[in-house]
Amino acid sequence: MAPIQVIGAGLGRTGTDSLKTALNILGYNTHHLKCLLTDPTLNHDAFFEAYVNRDKADWDQLYANYDAAVDFSAATFYYDLHKKYPEAKVLLTVRSADSWYNSVKNTIFRTASQFPMVNEGDVGFSVQRLCAALCMDGHIFNPELFLQEEKLKKMYTDHIEDVKRRIPADQLLVLELGEGWERLCAFLGKDVPEVPYPTSNSTAEFIDYFINENRPDNVIPISTQA
């Protein structure tokens, strides 16, 4: 399905799950970090190798079944994807640095803290290694790094400014968390759907998905614990 037509450069916890659903409603097939846990066709080791050696990455192969990508890994690879797919539209979802940090602390960081790091060769090693790397170069999975709050918030704001600086203005749309359909559809040349803009992956929903008893059976374990 590649080439990628839409690149989501916004970091996780900026409404990327809702954006994924919105893009799917608009007719795209959208990659999101959760796809690395649920799509058996995705190669975790190949994605990690792309993270390490981006100049050698086969982006068409990595995203073969997708024509849009948001969240981690797209936010991590956004400039590489932009260079590979220069005609693609780039979406940058944002929120305040304080609210972003608190959201990540209560979701991704909390989840990572629940699961012990596993060793190479163990079940879940490849996907855990990949997710840790993609989430801000390991900072979110490492308590010593993540709990340096001001540093993390600066990394967040620096990322936003980096995207604005690198992506041509006519290819970039900056979206505030929860903004809705109108500007998104105008930017992508799509009609506004006759359904409300999706809202998903709240803190409670995130915890239910990854930690609680009702975690979907088709989510690949990221540790040796059930």
Q: Are 180 and 197 in contact (CB under 8 A)?
A: yes
Of the two residues 200 and 139, the one the predictor is more confident about is 139
Q: Where are the beta strands (DSSP E) in the chain?
A: 6-8, 30-31, 68-69, 89-94, 172-176
pLDDT at res. 185: 98
pLDDT (mean) for 208-213: 61
223 has pLDDT over 80: no
Contacts of residues 197-200 at CB distance under 8 Å and 24 or more positions apart, as own/partner, are 197/18, 197/22, 198/18, 198/21, 198/22, 198/25, 199/18, 200/17, 200/18, 200/21
pLDDT (mean) for 213-223: 49
pLDDT at res. 133: 94
pLDDT at res. 17: 92
- Contacts of residue 156, defined as CB under 8 A and 6 or more positions apart, other chains included, come to 11, 97, 100, 101
What is the rounded average pLDDT for all residues in the chain? 88
State phi, psi for 201 to the nearest 5 degrees.
65, 40
pLDDT tens, 94-126? Answer: 999 999 999 998 888 887 777 666 778 766 789
pTM over 0.85? The answer is yes
Domain regions of the chain by residue span: 6-210
Give the CATH superfamily of 6-210.
P-loop containing nucleotide triphosphate hydrolases (3.40.50.300)
Which of 9, 136, 128 is closest to 69 using CA atoms?
9
